[in-house]
Amino acid sequence: MSSLDHLTSARRVLMLQGPMGGFFRDVASWLRQQGIVCYKINFNGGDRWFFSDDFAIDYRGTLQDFQDWLDELVQKLNIDAIVCFGDCRLYHAKAAKFCQNSKVDFLVFEEGYLRPDYITLEIGGVNAFSNIHPSQIEQHAKAHDQPIKTEPSFALMVWSACWYYLAWMAMQHRYPNYQHHRLLTPSQEIVAWGRALRRRITNYVPDHYKKWRIDRDWAHNYFVVALQVHNDSQVRVHSQYADVSDFIVETLESFAQHAASRHTLVIKHHPMDRGYRNYRQLIRRHAERLGVERRVRYVCDVHLPSLIKKSLGLITINSTTGLQALFHAKPVKVMGSAIYDIPRLTTQKDLHEFWRAPCPVDRDYYLRFRELLLEQTQLNGSFYGLSPWMDSPMDQNNQRHAVTKHD
């Protein structure tokens, strides 16, 4: 039974926080078309700005009191499924704990495991909290999916974020006890998004030049390090690193000590973190200390699949970029916990061994794993683009198999 089947089998749904923007409003509308009653809890003004109909409920209490309040609300409304975006947010973690001790389904939307053109919907939890198990892989056919293009809009994402934070600021008096999962204030978030837009523009020419140099001088002779957002809950909850910078330093030291002298390292900044962090000085300082400054490059706005295709392999904490590398049959070393960190897919050796002896990807096994993810957790859609999965409301499997072939 897929996660979408679980969702559409519910009769009364309670939504928590979604992605910034109107996605959860659209999902609620879609669910109501299926005859499902759908409520939504708003925790701050940004939530309320994008979802304020008669089924919206304000929570103004403390984080500590939320689970008891949720218990009472679920009983009062006879809720049988709770839906949220991300399972590590403060309020969502409490909701997950509540659902574990009740008969209420806990369904989590998240960025797609298989990008682009997919988003994730999973029951119980996502990523390292996923219920997907390697024992299920061999039971599946090999995937040959051809998703409908979803045309995600960066402009819509920026617009949604700005309005979300402005509304949050404007209505702080209405939600005095709200605790955000990030440490910045709404005004600081707006500044960061503005900085991200500026850096995207200013990075365009330099990063394209760097990519041209990498292709010319280092093609098929470099490893990619895929960084994650500095406050990514997957780093905080599902790895031993206190900060992404610790991962960078450890990787540089291992590369300097154990990689072949002919090999180089390309460190890829996460595009959603460009307004918050810049690791240029950190990388330069440690690369010079280790004597590998001529063998290390730092890029941001470079097309990642193109970078991966000409690489020797990829190192990440637990980013879904690892799945992109597996798709291109490139060896992957995971430094945290990830749903795809499985023998036959990723290197299980230590990092210092990975540089010289990365484990090859079992292509057949990967395609079966991909099919498992597609059937159980992936929806053809985007949070800031088209959502083809909503076009055929109650028959997601038939819709997907119409564009999928199996060996």
Left, alpha or beta for 40 (phi > 0: left; psi -120 to 50: alpha)?
Answer: beta
Query: Residue 156 falls within a domain, yes or no?
Result: yes
pLDDT tens profile 275-289: 989 999 999 999 999
Are 204 and 288 in a shared domain? Answer: yes
Q: 101: buried, middle or exposed (CB in 10 Å: 19+, 13-18, 0-12)? A: exposed
Query: Residue 179 falls within a domain, yes or no?
Result: no
- Number of domains within the chain: 2
pLDDT, residue 392, reads 62
Query: Residue 356 falls within a domain, yes or no?
Result: no
User: What is the sign of the dihedral through the CA atoms of 2, 333, 249 and 288?
Assistant: negative
| HSE-up (13 A, CA, CB side) for residue 37 | 9
Are 157 and 193 in a shared domain? Answer: no
Query: Residue 353 falls within a domain, yes or no?
Result: no
> Would you tell me the crossing angle of helices 186-218 and 154-170 to the nearest 10 degrees?
160
Query: Residue 304 falls within a domain, yes or no?
Result: yes
Are 243 and 196 in a shared domain? Answer: yes
Q: Minimum mean pLDDT among 189-203, 330-344, 367-381, 383-397: which range?
A: 383-397
Question: Which domain does 386 fall in, by range?
Answer: 3-164+367-401
What's 207's domain CATH number? 3.40.50
Are 233 and 311 in a shared domain? Answer: yes
- Cα–Cα distance for residue pair 172/46, rounded to 1 Å: 10
Are 160 and 18 in a shared domain? Answer: yes
Above pLDDT 90, what percent of the chain?
A: 83
pLDDT tens profile 367-404: 999 999 999 999 999 999 999 999 865 554 444 433 44
